[in-house]
Amino acid sequence: ETGVTQSPTHLIKTRGQQVTLRCSSQSGHNTVSWYQQALGQGPQFIFQYYREEENGRGNFPPRFSGLQFPNYSSELNVNALELDDSALYLCASSLVQGQSYGYTFGSGTRLTVV
């Protein structure tokens, strides 16, 4: 197993800028989800991609967008950054098999907006 790899590990951006976070899924996994974990909070679901299409979204504005590529790697893009976007962003990959699949999480990207 290759695990889930996220890059970069840390990032500092200025309010109003745009950012792209990257995720390489675990080998054989065809689904990727993104979560935002603010300091002292549990992760919050942003969205999920399956076969390169978004197929589930949490309560996040449209300036949060994503892509999934044919090799199942993924990007999270955030436009017009706000101070409250400062958080740990976690990527999780999974293999859809019936209704009981597991998730493998990456170590996350720590985004700080100043």
Partner 1 sequence: AQSVTQLDSQVPVFEEAPVELRCNYSSSVSVYLFWYVQYPNQGLQLLLKYLSGSTLVKGINGFEAEFNKSQTSFHLRKPSVHISDTAEYFCAVRMTGGGNKLTFGTGTQLKVEL
Residues at the interface with partner 1 (CB under 8 A): 4, 6, 31, 33, 35, 40-45, 48, 50, 55-56, 58, 90, 92, 99-100, 102-103, 105-108
Q: Shortest distance, CB of residue 18 to partner 1, whole angstroms? A: 24
Q: Helix or strand or coil: residue 83?
A: helix
Do the Cβ atoms of 9 and 110 come closer than 8 Å? Answer: yes
Q: Helix or strand or coil: residue 84?
A: helix
Q: Fill in the amino acid letter for 54.
A: E
Residue 13 or 45: which CB sits closer to partner 1? 45
Residue 16 or 56: which CB sits closer to partner 1? 56
Q: Shortest distance, CB of residue 60 to partner 1, whole angstroms? A: 12
Who contacts 62 (Cβ-Cβ below 8 Å, separation ≥6)? none
